[in-house]
C-alpha cells in the first residue's frame, strides 16, 4: 500500500525537488495561461510537459487563488497570459455574511481543477498527485476584502468567525472532492494569515485549517499547509494547524524553522520565486540551491522548493538549473 507524501519524504535517502511550477510549462505546449485555468485538458498537458522534462515525483494542479472566491460570487479577471485575480469582494455589507450561499465543489471553475486532478492520475510514473486550494482565512479575505478582514479580527471577530464557518464548510467539501477525484493531497495556500499577529493567525486561520486537516489526514490524505508570508514568529501557529507538511515562503527563516519543529514535521521552501527563479541566472540558482541544501544538511524532513508559485515568466533554463542542482546534490 502506498504511503503518504509525508512518509515518503522522511524515508527518502535523496533530496526531493519540489518547485511550485505549473504556468512556466505553457511554453512547452501551445496552451496559454487562460487555457490552463479554464480547460482541464490544457492544464493536464502543461503539467505533463513539465513532468516529461523533469520527471518529478509529484504533480499538482495550478495555483489559482481566485477560483474558490469566484465560486462564492467574486468577480474575476481572466487574461491570456496572467494568473486570474479577483477584482472585488462578494460581500459589500457585513449583513450579507449570514445570507451568503456556500457553493458546491464543481461550481464555476472549481470543476476545472477537480477534472484536472483526475486526468493527472493518468501520468503513470508520478508517485503523488496533489490538488490545490486557498485557505479559509485568505478566502474570507477575498470575499470581504483583505483590509476589512484584518480589521474584523479586532472590531467584529464574531462576524469574521461566521464567514470563516462558511469558507471552511466549502473548503472541507472541496478538499474531499479532490480526494474523490484521485488526489493524494492538496496544497492549501493561506498567504493572508501571515499578515496577522501570531495569536490572530492561530485564532482565525490555524483553528479552521485544523478542522480540514483532522477531517482528511487520518485517511492518509496530505494537506500541505503553505503560507508564503509567514515568518518565524508565526511558526508555532502554523504547527497548530496539525498539518504534517508545512510549506513556507522567502520571509521564513527556514533553517530556524527546521531547528524548532519536530523532526516528524516536513518543512518545504523557500527560494524566492521572483528574485531567484525569474531574475536569477542558472549559475546563481545553482549556488542558491547548494547553499540551502548545505544549511539543511542532516534534516531529513526538509524539501527544497520555491517559496511560492513560480511565475509564468520564469525561464525554463532556470527550472533546469534548479533540478540539475538538486540532482547533483544527490550524487
How does the average pLDDT of the chain come out, rounded?
A: 97
What letter does residue 277 receive in the DSSP assignment?
A: I
Q: What is the CATH number of the domain that holds 56?
A: 3.20.20.210
Mean predicted confidence (pLDDT) in 285-296: 98
Q: How far apart are CA 47 and CA 35, in angstroms?
A: 13
133: nearest Cα among 167, 95, 90, 99: 167
What contacts 159, CB < 8 A, 6 or more positions away? 94, 97, 152
Label residue 1 exposed, middle or buried (CB < 10 Å: 0-12, 13-18, 19+). Answer: exposed
Tens of pLDDT, residue by residue over 108-119, are 999 999 999 999
Answer whether 318's CB lies under 8 Å from 306's CB: no
308 in any annotated domain? no
Answer whether 97's CB lies under 8 Å from 159's CB: yes
CA 287 to chain centre: 25
Q: How far apart are CA 144 and CA 150, in angstroms?
A: 10
Mean predicted confidence (pLDDT) in 42-69: 98
Kindly tell me if the per-residue pLDDT of 197 is higher than 80. yes
Predicted confidence at residue 22, as pLDDT, reads 99
Q: How far apart are CA 277 and CA 74, in angstroms?
A: 31
Mean predicted confidence (pLDDT) in 280-305: 98
20 in any annotated domain? yes
259 in any annotated domain? no
324 in any annotated domain? no
Kindly tell me if the per-residue pLDDT of 1 is higher than 60. no
Answer whether 53's CB lies under 8 Å from 29's CB: no
Cα first-last separation, the chain: 28
Task: Report percent pLDDT > 70 for the chain.
Answer: 100
153 in any annotated domain? yes
331 in any annotated domain? no
Predicted confidence at residue 48, as pLDDT, reads 98
Mean predicted confidence (pLDDT) in 58-75: 98
Q: How far apart are CA 210 and CA 199, in angstroms?
A: 15
Predicted confidence at residue 124, as pLDDT, reads 82
Mean predicted confidence (pLDDT) in 288-308: 98
Q: How far apart are CA 258 and CA 290, in angstroms?
A: 17
Q: How far apart are CA 292 and CA 230, in angstroms?
A: 18
Domain count, the chain: 1
70 in any annotated domain? yes
In terms of residue numbers, what domain contains 196?
15-247
Please report where in the chains the cell 477537480 appears, as a residue. Answer: 114
Predicted confidence at residue 223, as pLDDT, reads 98
User: pTM for this one?
Assistant: 0.97
Tens of pLDDT, residue by residue over 4-35, are 999 999 999 999 999 999 999 999 999 999 99
80 in any annotated domain? yes
Amino acid at each position: 500500500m502506498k504511503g503518504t507524501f509525508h512518509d515518503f519524504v522522511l524515508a527518502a535517502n535523496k533530496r526531493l525537488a519540489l518547485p511550485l511550477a505549473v504556468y512556466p510549462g505553457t511554453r512547452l505546449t501551445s496552451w496559454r495561461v487562460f487555457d490552463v485555468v479554464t480547460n482541464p485538458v490544457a492544464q493536464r498537458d502543461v503539467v505533463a510537459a513539465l513532468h516529461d522534462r523533469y520527471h518529478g515525483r509529484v504533480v499538482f494542479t495550478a495555483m489559482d487563488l481566485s477560483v474558490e472566491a469566484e465560486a462564492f460570487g467574486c468577480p474575476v479577471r481572466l487574461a491570456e497570459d496572467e494568473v486570474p485575480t479577483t477584482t472585488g469582494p462578494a460581500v459589500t455589507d457585513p449583513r450579507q455574511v449570514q445570507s451568503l450561499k456556500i457553493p458546491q465543489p464543481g461550481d464555476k471553475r472549481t470543476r476545472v481543477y477537480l477534472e484536472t486532478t483526475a486526468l493527472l492520475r493518468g501520468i503513470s510514473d508520478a508517485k503523488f498527485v496533489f490538488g490545490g486550494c486557498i485557505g479559509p482565512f485568505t478566502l474570507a479575505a477575498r470575499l470581504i476584502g483583505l483590509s476589512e478582514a484584518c480589521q474584523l479580527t479586532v472590531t467584529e471577530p464574531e462576524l469574521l468567525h461566521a464567514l470563516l464557518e462558511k469558507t471552511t464548510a466549502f473548503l472541507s467539501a472541496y478538499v474531499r472532492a479532490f480526494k474523490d477525484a484521485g488526489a493524494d493531497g492538496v496544497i492549501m495556500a493561506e498567504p493572508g494569515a501571515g499578515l496577522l499577529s501570531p495569536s490572530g493567525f492561530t485564532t482565525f486561520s490555524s483553528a479552521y485549517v485544523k478542522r480540514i486537516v483532522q477531517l482528511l489526514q487520518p485517511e492518509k490524505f496530505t494537506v500541505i499547509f503553505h503560507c508564503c508570508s509567514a515568518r518565524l514568529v508565526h511558526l508555532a501557529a502554523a504547527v497548530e494547524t496539525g498539518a504534517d507538511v508545512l510549506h513556507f515562503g522567502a520571509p521564513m527563516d527556514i533553517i530556524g524553522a527546521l531547528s524548532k519543529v519536530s523532526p516528524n514535521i516536513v518543512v518545504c521552501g523557500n527560494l524566492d520565486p521572483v528574485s531567484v527563479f525569474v531574475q536569477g541566472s542558472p549559475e546563481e540558482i545553482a549556488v542558491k540551491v547548494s547553499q540551502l541544501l548545505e544549511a539543511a544538511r542532516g534534516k531529513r524532513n526538509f524539501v527544497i522548493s520555491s517559496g511560492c508559485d513560480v511565475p509564468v515568466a520564469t525561464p525554463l533554463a532556470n527550472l533546469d538549473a534548479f533540478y540539475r542542482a538538486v540532482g547533483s546534490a544527490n550524487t
